[in-house]
Structure 1
Amino acid sequence: MSQSNTTIPSGRKDIAWNYATLPDPKNPNNVCCPFCGKVTNGGIYRHKLHLVGGNRNVKECSKVPKHVKEEIKEFIKKKNSLKNQIDDIPHLDDIVDLEEDEDEEDLQTKRKGKRPISGSSGLGPTAQGKKSKQTGPIDLYFAKDVKEIVRQRRGKNKGQYDENKKKLREDAVQKFVTWMYDAGIPFNAVKYDSLQPCIDAIENFGVGMKPPSYHEVRVKYLKSSLTNTNLFLKSHEEDHAKYGCTIMADGWMDKKGRSLINFLVNGPKGTVFVESVDASSYSHTADKMYELLSRFVNRIGEKNVVQVVTDNASCNVKADNFINFKF
C-alpha cells in the first residue's frame, strides 16, 4: 500500500489509518480505500466497515487482503472488550474518558456538520466548545490493570453506595407498609415465604412496573393460582397414597364462642388444610365426633391414613377408640 500522495494527520491511532488514504488531507471524513479505490464518506469508522464487511449499509471491499481484514477485526474486538471493562467502573466520568479514536470523532463531526479543531486527537474541545471529560493524562489511567482499578473504585465508593441503598430501601419500605396499612393486611404477612420472590421479581422488571389491575387479581391470576394449587394438592395426594399420611383435628374457640375444628393432613411434603367444621352443637359428643372423623378418613382414603391425631378431650378419646375398632 502506498500513501505517498496523501498526508495522514498526526495523532491518528486507529489501525485502519494504515490502510487508508485521504484525497483531501483537510477533510478526514472522505477516506479512500487503497485496495479498490472507493472513497467512503463517513470517516475512518465507515472505512473500517468497508474493509471488514458484514454491514448492510456499507459496501464491502472486494480486494482487501485477508490478513488486513483479520487484523482490523482483532483491533475492533480488543477495543470493544476494553470499553466493556471500563463501563464497569463506578463514576468513570470523574476519572478519565477513554481515548477517543477517529471513528467516534468522525461520527460526531458528521452529525454536527463541522470538522474538529485542527490537530485534535479526540481528547480536546470540539469546534462547538464541548469540553473533554479527561481530568489527567491517559497514561496515568493505564498505569494499572483495569480490573484493579475497578476493584479500587468499588471499594472507595462502597460506603457511599451502601448509604444510598439504605435510603432507597427506607423509602421503598415506607411506601410498602403504607399500602399494607391502607389495605388492612396483617403484619405477619411479611413473614410469608412468598414475599421475597415477589420483591425479586419486581426488581428484575426494573423501574416503571405497573401494579396488577383489579381484573388481573380477581380473574386472570386467580384462575392460574387455583390451577397451581390443585396441582400442588395433587402431588400431596400422590404421596399420601404412596407413603401414607396423618389426619390431624385441631379444635379451637372463636370470638363468638363457636367450637370450630380444623382438619389437616400431614404427609412427606408437609401439612395441607382440608376443611374447617363448626362443631358447636356436638363437639362434646363422642358418637358425633366419631362420625366426623370417620367421614374424613373415608374422604382421604382408608388405605392412605396411618393415624389420626386429636387433643385428649374425653369425647375425642372415645371417638378414637371407635375409629381404631372400625378401621
Structure 2
Amino acid sequence: MDLYSTSNFSPGTSLLKRNSNDVGWEYGILYDSKNPDRVKCKLCGKEMGGAILEAKNKKRKMKREADVFSFEVDELNREDDLDEDPMDKFVMAVTTEDSLGGETGQENSNDVVSEERMRSVRQFFARWIYQSGIPFNVIESDSFRSFCEALGRFGPGWVPPSQCELRETLLEEEEEIIKEKLKSLELEWEQNEFSKEPQTGKFIFEYVDKCIEDVGVEKVVQVITDSAENNLAAAKMLKEKRLGIFWSTCAADTVKLMLEDIVKLPKISKYIEKAKAVTMFIYAHEKTLAMMRCHTKERDIVRPGVTRFATTFLTLQRLLEKKEQLRFMFVSDEWDKCKDSNYVKGRSAYYTCLSPAFWDGVKRVVKVLEPLVKVLRMVDGEKRPSMGFIYGELVEAKRSIKAATNNLERYYQPILDIIDENIKGRLDSPLHLTAYLLNPFYFYNEPPIQLDGTLMTGFLNCVETFYHGEFEKQDKAVDEFRIYQDKDGFFGTPYALRGCEQNTDEFDPGFSLDF
C-alpha cells in the first residue's frame, strides 16, 4: 500500500500528503517527503511539527475564535434593543390567552416526541383520571388547558403542590385572584345601584326590559332565567308588555328542583339515609376503608358529583354495583377481627348491608331516579339541542317511573305530582309544546299527540308570539304544519321516515327533515 499520495494536491505541486482518510488532511499538506511529521497549514501557510494532529488543533482553535466572534456580533446587535431582555422569551408569564391560541415557543409534539413517548404520557394521564374518579369533561375547561401549557413550558422537574398547599396557600391565592376580578363587577353594580334594590319581580322586569331596549327588541327572541318566584313574576309582566318575546325557565334548574323534592319523599329518603350511614361509617375509619377498598379492588363506593344530589345518586349506583363485595366484606373474618365492628354504627352498617329489604329499596330508588337523571344529563349536556326533546323526555320519564314502581299508584303518584308541579308554568310553555309537537320522532311514532288539543293550542300560541302581528306568516306556518301532519312532500319520503325511527344522541329532528 502506498504511504504517500499526490492525488489531493493542486496541479504543479510536488508536495505530498498521507494516504489517509483523516479529516485533518483537508487543511494540511506534507511539504517534506523525508519527514512525514512536518505539515504545512493550507489556511495560513505556517509549518508545524506533530503531523496532522497539530493541524487539526489549529483548525479547532480557529473555529472557536470564529464562534466567539459570531457570538460577540450577535450580542452587539442585541444590545441595540434596550427594551427587551435576552431572557424574556424564556420567562414569559403564561396567560389564558397564550395557552388557548396563538403561537408558542414549544414545537409541535409530533416533531420532538416519538409516538411511543406520546402514548405513554397519555396513558399515565388517563390512568390518573380513571383512578381518581375525575369527570372526563374537565379536560375541556380553559383552566386545564392553561395548566398543560404552563407545565409544558416549565419542562422536566415540576413537583406537584402538597395537599397542605392546595388546602391553604394556593386556595387563598386563588381567592385573592377571583376577588380582584370581581372588583370591576362590583364597581358596575355600585354605579347601577343594582345590589341595593330588593330583587322583586317588578325590579327584575324593569331591568330586563331596559336591557331589551338597549339591545333592540327585534334582536331578542327569548329570555331564560331560573325558576325563582320573583323571576316568574317578572316573566308574567314581560309577557304582557313584550308580546313577541318568549320567557323560559332553565330546564336543568327545573329538573334539579324536581329531583331535590323527590328525594325528600319518605319512601325514598329512608334508603338514602341508610346508604349515607353505611358510607360515612366506612370512610370514617382507616381500617374499614382499607378493608372496603381491598374487597372492591380499590374502587370507592362514594362518587363525588357536581351537586349534592348527583353525589347521592352516583353513590347509590356504586353501592348496587359493589353489593356482593360489600356483603362479603361484612361476613368475612377480617370484619369480625376489626374492633370497629363492635361500635353501634358498625353493627348498624352490618345489619343494613345484610338486609335484602335495603338492597331492594336502593334498587327501586335508582330505577325511579334514573329517568329524570337521563333528562338532566340531556338538558345539561352539549351533544344536541335539547329544546325539541325536553317535554317528550319528561313524558317518557313519567312512564318509566310508573314501571319502576310496578304501576302501584301509592308509590308513583307522589313522584308524578312533584314532576307536574315543577313542569307547570316552566317547561310546558307554548315554545316547549311546539318543539315537542314538531319533533318527528314523537309526532310520527305517537299518533295520539296529533289529536292533543293542549299541544295544538300551544303550537298556535307559539306561532302568534313568534310572528306577532305578521298574519301572513302565521297563516303560512299553519299551512306548512298540515303538510307535516299529513306526511306530504318530503315529510313522507322513506329517508325522512327512517330518520325518525330512533331517538339516539345523533338524532337531530331539524336535520332529519332538512332537504
Instruction: Output the TM-score relative to the length of structure 1.
Output: 0.32
Instruction: Output the TM-score relative to the length of structure 2.
Output: 0.23
More helix by share: 2
Higher relative contact order (CA 8 A, sep 6+): 1
More strand by share: 1
